[in-house]
Structure 1
Amino acid sequence: MALGSFVCAIGLAVLSRAGGVVSLYIAWTLIDIAMALTLYEAAFATINRKYETGSRQAISTLTLFGGFASTLLWPLTAKLDTVFGWRDTNSCFAVMQLPLCMPLHLWLGAAPVRQPRHHLSAEDQGHTLKHALRHPAFWTLALAISANTFVFSAMSVHLIPLLERLGLSLSTAVLLASLIGPMQVAGRIGEMTLGRNTSLQIVGILTFAMLPAALLVLVLFGANAWIVALFCMLYGVSNGILTIVRGSIPQALFGRQHYGAISGALAGPSLLSKAAGPLAAAALLRPEGGTTMLLIVLLAVSIASLVFYLRAVSIGSSPSIAKAFDKNTA
């Protein structure tokens, strides 16, 4: 993660002085590499290494603070852009990476783990990546996360124009969409308090179910502002808690010893669906129509994600299948 901060500083510096397409692509390539090294997936793997117990609570706390990132940084970025311009704003962010983010990541890496690693049980050690790739629960979970990510990425880009297509004014659409951020935080607070003693698998089922429920509401009653507000709240809560589920469920199903490799492999397909979601939605949301078709497609994909997750939890929690798998991979 410290290396990611360094790469991010270089990428932002290049972006601040970009003068053409080539330099722009170079800058964003570096920034994307830095994002892979520093954001949630890398942070979750680090937490899993540092906390022999209580990693779920630590992940919940991290995502709670992460939920305020856009709330604080977007207005700050807009203010800096107004005062200094976008080039100097990126230069400021590049400089901040070196004295602020990089030392914190280095300090985190030097901090000791909570308990000696030789105390890990065989169950905690779990499966290696090679074994996990042969487990059917891995692929159904990957499909569940990918389908869910497809919907969220499509909606994150096209939500405002979609709500306008449903008959809302631009100001109303923006106001209702602004509910999503606070509801993400509310969902994470709820998981940390009300859901802390609930099985992660059950929390995941509720989280995956909220998305098709929200889209169904929008399909049936999309022209009503109060219904759209309900959609945004359900959508926000689902998206907020899903981050925690994605960070914790690999350990629950496959053990913690090889968490980083397994969670990284799970993230691969979802990155592809994250890139495909906005493009597919744009193709469906044509200037002359396609609103209903887009919502139906997203609803179908969200239902598929719930079905895949239920299957993954069922397979991963089955004692007979788990024992047979462990015997075959021993």
Structure 2
Amino acid sequence: MSSPTRMPWGFVSALSATQLISYGTIFYAFALLIEPMQRELGWSKSALTAAYSLSLASSALFAVPIGRLIDRGYGRAIMTGGSVLAAVLLALWSQVHNYPLFVLIWIGLGASMSAVFYEPGFAILARRLGLLARKGITMMTLVGGFASTVFIPLTHLLIDAFGWRSALLVLAAFNLFVCALLHLLFIPPSEPRKKAAHSPQVAPTAAKDPNHLLKSPSFWCFVATSVAQGMISTGIPLHLIPMLIERGFSLDVAVAAYSIIGPAQVAARLSTAFGERAISVRALGVMTMVMSVMGFALLPFIPAGSWLIAVFAGLYGASNGMMTIVKALLPVEFFGRENYGAIQGMIATPVRISMAAAPFAFGTLWAWQGNYDAVLIICLGMALCSLVAFVLNLAFARRV
């Protein structure tokens, strides 16, 4: 598919809106549903979160095949079907009384995540926009960054007003009547793969079979970077408030620090959008990893009650926000636009498995040590490893 000469803002805006709704209804709403489900059904928090972790593992299994289907031109069917599936499963969840069924629902939601979250959205943008993909991807992540800001309070209001079961039906309706319709109306219909193969935007080094990348040191360095950052991005949010309280911060200060992370993510993505011409994707990646290292190197030395905790939260949030853009754009530059969906799936598979394990692993470390010191050391080590792996990635990529 040839690259448009002007940005199709209607198409980009529609896909961005569906990211906001998909993340808000599937990913973020869960945290608010735990407590009312515990009260009514008597299931433990660990049992509920175990089902959620299984969904991330399930999404990893579907990532590559879904990416391959998008590469073949079936993006509209995949994302529309994913939103319909999410709607059906959320509605089924609203009626659940049986724990095994709840687990199966979340395994299915993992498949839906693979079809409607960032990776398939990035693949469709890259396929449609060509050289304009960076601007479109930045727009998508900028809008998607408000998912928690919009849907956490909205879900809270729905649960208070109607109860958790009816709230889930409203969230299901968002997926069916907004996301599915936008995907159906705005994503171009499927086209034969051969047209994409002759596109002038296809990287000259791209191979027809993306499995050749499994022999590439650059690819594995990028996977290592993504895995380390992915574990940090899912492990820390669950443990940050108790970690700060353990270090002597009051609950109010810990919550205030946590609230900085979301705006910092959005601000970093907005800065990236304005600095598109001044900052290359490679430089953006280095900045992302350096900020992560700086944040975790600073945290152990911040005294209780110090305003410097806001600096940590800002660095952590900005690094997370920029990492989403780096993961979207760098594979195009290093590995080519051909098979972009499959390549994103190949990267997402180990990343999502590690993301599913991170909260449990951090909790186990805390229980073993009796404090969060080991978790902080591990996070700093992973941040440093992600920086080293990214620099090696740049070095290997220059030799290709």
TM-score (norm 2): 0.76
Question: Which one of 170, 180, 196 corresponds to residue 102 of structure 1?
Answer: 180
- Structure 1 residues 286, 196: CA separation in 2 closer, same or farther (over 3 Å shift)? farther
- The match for 2:157 is 79
Report the alpha carbon displacement of residue 224 of structure 1 after superposing the two structures with TM.
4.3
Report the alpha carbon displacement of residue 25 of structure 1 after superposing the two structures with TM.
0.9
Report the alpha carbon displacement of residue 123 of structure 1 after superposing the two structures with TM.
2.9
Instruction: Provide, for residues 109-143 of structure 1, a one-character-per-residue CA deviation record: whole Å limited to 9, x for no partner.
Output: 22799xx7434256356234122122111111101
Question: Which one of 303, 306, 314 corresponds to residue 384 of structure 2?
Answer: 303
Report the alpha carbon displacement of residue 317 of structure 1 after superposing the two structures with TM.
2.1
- The match for 2:231 is 150
> What aligned pairs does 1:232-243 form with structure 2 within 5 A after superposition?
232-243=313-324
TM-score (norm 1): 0.92
Structure 1 residue matching 2:130: 3-state secondary structure: coil
- The match for 2:68 is none
Q: Distance in 2 between matches of 1:153 and 1:85?
A: 28
Question: Which one of 110, 128, 140 corresponds to residue 50 of structure 1?
Answer: 128
Q: Distance in 2 between matches of 1:130 and 1:288?
A: 41
- Structure 1 residues 313, 288: CA separation in 2 closer, same or farther (over 3 Å shift)? closer
> What aligned pairs does 1:100-249 form with structure 2 within 5 A after superposition?
100-110=178-188, 117=196, 118-120=198-200, 123=203, 126-127=206-207, 128-249=209-330
Report the alpha carbon displacement of residue 249 of structure 1 after superposing the two structures with TM.
0.7
Contact 1:125–1:258 under 8 Å retained in 2: no
- Structure 1 residues 222, 58: CA separation in 2 closer, same or farther (over 3 Å shift)? farther
Report the alpha carbon displacement of residue 95 of structure 1 after superposing the two structures with TM.
2.1
Could you say what the CA RMSD is over the residues aligned between the two structures, in angstroms?
A: 1.8
Q: Distance in 2 between matches of 1:122 and 1:90?
A: 42
Q: Distance in 1 between matches of 2:100 and 2:92?
A: 11
Question: Which one of 332, 336, 342 corresponds to residue 255 of structure 1?
Answer: 336
Report the alpha carbon displacement of residue 283 of structure 1 after superposing the two structures with TM.
1.1
Instruction: Provide, for residues 252-292 of structure 1, a one-character-per-residue CA deviation record: whole Å limited to 9, x for no partner.
Output: 10110111111110111111110121111101113873222
Structure 2 residue matching 1:285: 3-state secondary structure: helix
Contact 1:144–1:308 under 8 Å retained in 2: yes
Structure 2 residue matching 1:54: 3-state secondary structure: helix
Structure 2 residue matching 1:317: 3-state secondary structure: helix
Report the alpha carbon displacement of residue 163 of structure 1 after superposing the two structures with TM.
0.8
Contact 1:57–1:192 under 8 Å retained in 2: yes
Deviates more, 1:133-142 or 1:190-199: 190-199
Structure 1 residue matching 2:334: 3-state secondary structure: helix
Amino acid corresponding to residue 42 of structure 1 in structure 2: P
Report the alpha carbon displacement of residue 23 of structure 1 after superposing the two structures with TM.
1.8
Structure 2 residue matching 1:256: 3-state secondary structure: coil
Q: Distance in 2 between matches of 1:8 and 1:196?
A: 38
Q: Would you say 1:290 and 2:371 are equivalent positions?
A: yes
Deviates more, 1:6-15 or 1:280-289: 280-289
- Structure 1 residues 104, 121: CA separation in 2 closer, same or farther (over 3 Å shift)? closer
Amino acid corresponding to residue 184 of structure 2 in structure 1: L
Superposed structure 1 runs of 4+ greater than 6 Å apart? none
Contact 1:154–1:281 under 8 Å retained in 2: yes
- The match for 1:328 is none
Contact 1:125–1:256 under 8 Å retained in 2: no
- Structure 1 residues 17, 125: CA separation in 2 closer, same or farther (over 3 Å shift)? farther
Deviates more, 1:93-102 or 1:116-125: 116-125
Count of paired positions: 317
- The match for 1:326 is none
Amino acid corresponding to residue 154 of structure 1 in structure 2: G
- The match for 1:327 is none
Q: Would you say 1:68 and 2:149 are equivalent positions?
A: no
Amino acid corresponding to residue 153 of structure 2 in structure 1: P
Q: Distance in 1 between matches of 2:101 and 2:155?
A: 22
Contact 1:253–1:317 under 8 Å retained in 2: no
Q: Would you say 1:39 and 2:120 are equivalent positions?
A: no
Amino acid corresponding to residue 109 of structure 2 in structure 1: I
Contact 2:91–2:168 under 8 Å retained in 1: yes
Contact 2:202–2:337 under 8 Å retained in 1: no
